[in-house]
Structure 1
Amino acid sequence: MIETKITKVLIVDDHAHAREAIREQLSEYEDFTIIGEARSGEEAIFLSDQLHPDLILMDINMPDLDGLKTTKLIKERHPNIKIVILTVSEDSTHLFEALKQGAQGFLIKKVNPGDWYPYLKSVVSDNIPVSYELVNEVIQTISSHPRKSSTHTHPANPLSQREMEILKLVAKGYTNKEISNMIFISEYTVKNHLKNITKKLDIKNRVHLTRYAIENGWVEQ
């Protein structure tokens, strides 16, 4: 019998009722356990150092040190910690900025609580796809900030042919499972290829990977 891995969660929100609501929601998931709660960005950084959570649920709006800045600081110290930003806003610019700071995901607080579990499981398993809307946002951002020099040269491509094939599918928004079905390899193999790709390119997440590939002409806009 395979033992279920327990995901250790740190909740970060400056409002007590919000932390309570999140706590109640997570209590329904047997494979998630709350190991701490923080009321500020500073406390979140301290508890991350002390408790080493697997996943942080981070409110985006907090006084002094907001969720985006806190995410950046925590990821610099603990790159392996997964962070999901929580917000009441559906503004895609917030999503884009959160992922730029290193977050792995983005949850709207008013989303049906039943949708939280599969989403968080996908984050923990590194299987969050890049949406087509987000790819368009990446492309628009790049287009609005043209390269300063026309003599810009692309870096040498360190990826294998198979890795490039997977990179292009990731940039189109496909999940690991969809990629495995499309190119007839296991989902586990897809994940291994992605780990190699991100390691070779020193990239934080799928959004950064997509942006890097587009900027360097490896994927068509």
Structure 2
Amino acid sequence: MSTLFLQTDLFKTVNIINYTDSLLDDVKQNTPNFLMIGSSVFARTEIYEIVDSILKIDPKIKIIIVGQNYEVHVIRKLFSKGIRSYLDQDSNYEEFLKCVQTLHQGNVYICESAKEQMISFLSNDNKKYTRCNKEPITKREMEVLKLVCDGLSSKDIGDKLFISVNTVETHRKRILMKLNVKNTVGVVKYALENNIFED
């Protein structure tokens, strides 16, 4: 895998570490832009602690968790702790590259298989959401919200929905206002923490 990473223009160096102490020492000495943590190396409860420790060292590190097809509540907890991306262990290399490119743009990324679990509300009437909010998100805002969670830029969302970038930005601002959050990360965290994404 590390050989494949180095074949792209995205990484200058790739370090592989298998022990928590070594990982934390390396992060302190050589703070990475990206850090991918695999669940096959560390136990789930240990991953929670590692994420906390790493982000105390530098909260700007973009953490990618590769999980063993974690359930929605586990993914939600990881995002609440500050990770920027979640991939399942069966995610392919192309999806990993898409993930890194999305993080480079300052967005969060959730793999397709996990996202399918979490966005089932889009096929429902969203009654659960409207009951707990005075001003519900409209159908169009839900479409924009889904694409934001996909990591798409405003331009890409506009192209996909056949609306202008200005209209997309208006929808994004209204979503931020309705959810009372400050940015895209806040939107995803809110959606995860408030069960808008359901399994």
From the two aligned structures, give the one with the greater helix fraction: 2
Provide the C-alpha distance between the structure 2 equivalents of 1:135 and 1:76, rounded to a whole number of angstroms. Answer: 31
Change in 2 beyond 3 A, CA 1:51/1:62: same
The TM-score with structure 1 as length reference comes to 0.55
Q: Secondary structure at the match of 1:56?
A: strand
Q: Secondary structure at the match of 2:87?
A: strand
* Letter of the 1:210 counterpart: A
Indicate the residue corresponding to 1:82 in structure 2: 62
Structure 1, 172-181 or 115-124: larger mean CA deviation:
172-181
Is 1:121 paired with 2:101? yes
Contact 1:75–1:102, Cα closer than 8 Å, also in 2:
yes
Provide the C-alpha distance between the structure 1 equivalents of 2:54 and 2:145, rounded to a whole number of angstroms. Answer: 26
Structure of higher RCO (CA pairs closer than 8 Å, 6+ residues apart):
2
Change in 2 beyond 3 A, CA 1:133/1:65: closer
Deviation at 1:40, TM superposition (A): 2.0
From the two aligned structures, give the one with the greater strand fraction: 1
Contact 2:66–2:86, Cα closer than 8 Å, also in 1:
yes
Indicate the residue corresponding to 1:32 in structure 2: 11
Contact 2:147–2:157, Cα closer than 8 Å, also in 1:
no
* Letter of the 1:114 counterpart: E
Percent identical residues: 12
Indicate the residue corresponding to 2:124 in structure 1: none
Residue from 196, 208, 213 that aligns with 2:189: 208
Indicate the residue corresponding to 1:134 in structure 2: 118
Change in 2 beyond 3 A, CA 1:208/1:30: same
Provide the C-alpha distance between the structure 2 equivalents of 1:114 and 1:33, rounded to a whole number of angstroms. Answer: 19
Question: Which of the two has higher C-alpha Rg?
Answer: 1
Contact 2:70–2:88, Cα closer than 8 Å, also in 1:
no
Structure 1, 40-49 or 61-70: larger mean CA deviation:
61-70
Aligned residues: 168
Change in 2 beyond 3 A, CA 1:97/1:65: closer
Q: Secondary structure at the match of 1:85?
A: strand
* Letter of the 1:113 counterpart: Y
Provide the C-alpha distance between the structure 2 equivalents of 1:76 and 1:54, rounded to a whole number of angstroms. Answer: 15
